[in-house]
Amino acid sequence: MRRPHRHRRDLSGANVFVTGAASGIGRATAELLARHGAHLHLTDVDGPRLAEVADRLRAEGSTVVLAEPADIADYDAVRALAARVTDASGAMDAVLNVAGIAVWGTISAMEHEQWRRLVDVNLMGPVHVLETLVPPMVDAGRGGWIVNVSSAAGIIGMPWHAAYSATKFGLRGISEVLRFDLRPHGIHVCLVCPGGVDTGLTETVRIAGVDTASPAFERARAHFRRRAVSPERAAEAIVRGMLRRRYWVYTSGDIRLVHAVQRWCPPAYSLLMTLLNRGANRALPAVSRARRREQVG
């Protein structure tokens, strides 16, 4: 087994691949990595916005080797993109799985296709990236980083998050295994668990059975955004976690605290989740309750 002689101490000149780079945490992280001197290889499903990000970074003097749109749920597209990335720059030094979608809802409200799409994007998407880009990293023997962006919903039992949590717990499981599997190769794995982050997902999140255009939901969204951290702050936590070679990376102190309560005081965690669930169910709109009665009947 080839072992790297040293670990990278910085990101200057590092070949870095980032998914979801057109907006939110992915964009902010790509911009911060550029300021650290990384050579960027970017993708996102939104081609025009990705091109805008790449053009701006290049205009600022950053090195964007490649910026190509792709749907990470499409294995053939990811495999082809990974081949172009490797042909252009060789093995990556860091791979960041940031892209994801959000659909929440009760078990009665969620459609099967919503479950399927979440799994395809949030779980199989990162798998596609890992299986095509990590083997060249292992073969290169230079070490590096894998950064998988999970969620607070990959740690705790948040209301209406069963489908979303399935994907984020799955990514957490992959990360937990790879942190040990890849350690002999000098590849460090970071598992990022953001709490509230004010990204485009706050505008595009879908909640099955809930009218997200209603005044009540708009008030809830505004409250969330006031408490959420910025994508730039989340990016700072991610890059800091990479450079310090941390496994658990939190973007806000509240998630760190809840995770500690879950591990060290299970009764308090159970009470907290029970109260959170009751509050969420009280807010469940009439349309979802009517649909549940119809399905039961």
Q: Tell me what the mean pLDDT of segment 15-22 comes to.
A: 98
- Is the separation of the CB atoms in 14 and 70 below 8 Å? no
Q: CA-CA distance, 197 to 228, in Å (whole number)?
A: 5
**Which of 40-44, 137-141, 163-167, 229-233 shows the lowest mean pLDDT across its residues?**
229-233
Lowest mean pLDDT among 59-63, 68-72, 193-197, 288-292: 288-292
What integer pLDDT is reported at residue 218 of this predicted model? 52
- CB under 8 Å to 273, separation ≥6 — which residues? 156, 157
Query: Which H helix or E strand runs over 192?
Result: strand 187-193
Which residues 6+ apart lie within 8 Å of 1 measured at CB? 184, 185
Could you give phi then psi for residue 160, rounded to 5 degrees? 65, 15
pLDDT of residue 296: 42
Q: What is the pLDDT of residues 148-199, one digit of tens each?
A: 999 999 999 988 899 999 999 999 999 999 999 999 999 999 999 998 765 5
Question: Can you tell me the distance from the alpha carbon of 105 to that of 99, in angstroms, rounded to the nearest whole number?
Answer: 20
Task: Summarize pLDDT for 233-284 with one digit per residue, the tens.
Answer: 999 999 999 999 999 999 998 899 999 999 999 999 999 999 988 877 776 5
pLDDT reading at 221 higher than 70: no
Question: What is the C-alpha to C-alpha distance for residues 288 and 202, in angstroms, rounded to an integer?
Answer: 20
In the chain, where the domains are located? 15-296
37 confidence band (pLDDT: 50, 70, 90): very high
Per-residue pLDDT at 260 = 95
Q: Which residues are catalytic?
A: 164
Res. 9 pLDDT band, cuts 50 70 90: confident
E strand or H helix at 263: helix 253-264
Q: Which pLDDT score is estimated for 289?
A: 44
Which contacts (CB < 8 Å, 24+ apart) does range 170-177 have? 170/119, 170/122, 170/123, 171/97, 171/122, 171/123, 171/126, 172/148, 174/126, 174/127, 174/130, 174/148, 175/146, 175/148, 175/150, 175/247
More confident residue, 9 or 223: 9
As given in the structure block, the two tokens for residue 253 are 């102190």
Q: Give the mean model confidence (pLDDT) for residues 113-134.
A: 98
**Residue 295 pLDDT more than 70?**
no
Say if residues 246 and 146 touch (Cβ distance below 8 Å). Answer: no
Hey, what are 7's tokens? Answer: 């670990």
pLDDT score of 32 = 98
Give the pair of three-digit tokens for residue 278: 């009751």
> Which element (helix H / strand E) includes 146?
strand 144-149
Tell me: pLDDT of 20 over 90: yes
Residues 6+ apart with CB under 8 A from 42: 17, 18, 21, 22, 30, 50, 53, 54, 64, 66, 67, 68
As a whole number, mean pLDDT of residues 66-76 equals 98
The mean pLDDT value for 10-31 works out to 97
pLDDT at 202 over 60: no
pLDDT of residue 105: 86
Is 0.85 surpassed by the pTM of this model?
yes
User: pLDDT above 70 covers what percent of the chain?
Assistant: 81
> How far apart (Å, rounded) are the C-alpha atoms in residues 240 and 249?
9
The pLDDT, as a whole number, for residue 286 is 43
pLDDT at 232 over 70: yes
The Cβ of residue 251 has, within 10 Å, a number of other Cβ atoms equal to: 27
- The pLDDT tens digits for 91-112 are 999 999 999 999 888 888 899 9
pLDDT at 279 (0 to 100): 77
Residue 285 confidence class, pLDDT cut points 50, 70, 90? low
User: What is the fold of 15-296?
Assistant: Rossmann fold (3.40.50)
